[in-house]
Structure 1
C-alpha cells in the first residue's frame, strides 16, 4: 500500500504472526459475563472504564484484535464497529462473531487512516490496540476527527513508569530503576522484536489531546488485586501493586 508508514506494515506482519496465540484469550473474553481490563484482567466494577450507559451510542474500537470489547459494548446496547491492522486478528473476530451469534462491522485498516466520515461516532476506544501500536500523533487526531461533539475517547496502555523501567530483554520484568530517559519518549523498538510501539510522557499526551480538541477528563492508574495473575512476563504482581503498570486516559471532544 503506497504511502503506508513502515511501523504500520511491520506491526501488521507481527500481529498476523501472533494472531493464533490470541484466539484462546479472545474466546474467554467474548464468553465473559462482565468486562475486565488490561494485563491483570481487572474487573470493570473496580476500574470504571466505561460510561454507565453506552446504549444507543455509535462506537469504534481502534485496534480491536479479536473484537471482545466491541462485543461487550454490543451487549450493552451500543452500535459498535471494530477496526484492526491485522487480517488474521479479524479472521478470529469473525469466527467468534459466528460462535456467539453477535454481528457488528469489522474493518481491515490502520487506526492512523480510518475509512469512516467525520463525526461518525460517540465513543472511540482502544485497549492495547491503536493506543500502543499506532503513532499517537497520527491516530489520536484520527480519533478526534471521528468523534461527534461531546464524544468520548478512552484508551488503555502501559504506564509511563513501566516503559521507563522495563528491560530490553523480553523475558525480564520491570525493575525499580530507571533504564531509559523520560524526555523524548515516542517510538520504542525492542532488540528481538520486529514490531514498533509508541509511548508518550504525560505532558506530551495532554498537549496532543488538547491540540486535537479533546479535554482530558480522567487518568486512571490501574492496580491489580492481591491475587491477580497475568501471562505477561515483563511485570510482576509485586511491582504492579507498588506502582501503576497500566493507565487509562479519558478525554471528551469539545
Structure 2
C-alpha cells in the first residue's frame, strides 16, 4: 500500500491486539483503502513520482543513506508487493528495472495508472493480493515493500510468497513499523514511552476497520530463515533533525527510539 499518513490516527480508536484477528484481513484492508484511505494519497502520489532520488518511510530516509536498491538493478525483473500508487515501482523503472506492482485497492491502482500516464512511465499494475501473486515461481530478482505487504499482509503468507517468486539469490527488501513502536503505541493517541502491550504473541494490530502486522525481531528472523532467506541487514531508522511530527509518532520520540526499520535479505541458492 503506502506509508501510513497522519490522518490514519483518526481511525485507531478502540483498537486491540490479538493473535487471531479478522478471518479475512485482506478484504477488510481492501475496503479500508478503497473506501477511506485512497484519497489521502492522491495529492501525494505526484510528489513521490516526481522524486529524483528515492527516499523511504515516514522520515524520508534517502536511498544514498540506506542503499535499499541493488547495485545491479538495471534490467532486473522486480515486484512491489502492496504497491499502492506505485511510486516505488516508478523509481525502480527509472533505475532501469522491469517492475510489476500488485495491490488489493482498485482506487490506489487507478491513481497509479494516472501517474503512469502523466510521467510517461509504463509497467504492469496487477489488482490482487500480495499473499497470492499470479506469477510463476522464480520470476523476479527483487521483491520490495515499503509499508505495503510488509505492514498490511500476514507475514506468514506474504514472506513465503516472496520467496516463491524470487530466483535463487534474489533479494527481499522491506520497511515497516518497528516492534518497539508496536509495543508502545496505545489504542488511542500517539506512541508513548510506556509499554502498552506484551511482546510475546505480538502479531497483529487490529484497529477496528483495518489490520496491521508487526512481528518481533526473533519471530521475523526465524520466519525469514525458514523461507530460505539470509538476512543481510536490519536498519533501525532514526528520525532526522528537524523533522515533522505525525499524530502517531513525534519526531522527538523517533529521534530517541526507532519507529520504523528496513530489512534486507537474500534468497539462498
Q: How does the TM-score come out when normalised to structure 1?
A: 0.94
8 A Cα contact 1:47 1:222, kept in partner:
no
Structure 1 position 68 matched with structure 2 position 83: no
* Deviation of 1:48 (Å): 2.2
> 1:40 offset after TM fit, Å?
1.5
1:80 to 99, 103, 115: 99
What is the alpha-carbon distance in structure 1 between the residues aligned to residue 143 and residue 106 of structure 2?
A: 21
For residues 198-232 of structure 1, give each alpha carbon's deviation from its aligned partner in whole angstroms, at most 9, with x where no partner exists.
110111111111111111111011112101225x3
- TM-aligned CA deviation for residue 58 of structure 1: 0.6
The yes-or-no answer on 1:217 pairing with 2:235 is no
2:168 is aligned with 1:154: no
What runs of 5+ residues in structure 1 fail to find an aligned partner?
none
Q: Does 1:234 align with 2:248?
A: yes
Q: Which residue does 1:113 correspond to in 2?
A: 132
**Separation in 2 of the partners of 1:50 and 1:162?**
25
- State which drifts further: 82-91 or 50-59: 50-59
Deviation at 1:50, TM superposition (A): 1.8
Q: How much does 1:178 deviate? A: 0.8
Counterpart for residue 3 of structure 2? none
Query: Is 2:203 the counterpart of 1:189?
Result: no
Residue aligning to 2:24: 6
Offset from partner CA, 1:46-79 (integer Å, 9 cap, x none):
2222223311111000000000000000000000
Runs of 4+ displaced beyond 6 Å = none
The whole-number CA distance in structure 2 between the counterparts of 1:204 and 1:175 is 24
How far does residue 104 in structure 1 lie from its aligned partner after superposition? Answer: 0.3
How many residues are matched? 246
CA RMSD of aligned residues (A): 1.2
SS of equivalent to 1:250: strand
Residue equivalent to 1:91? 110
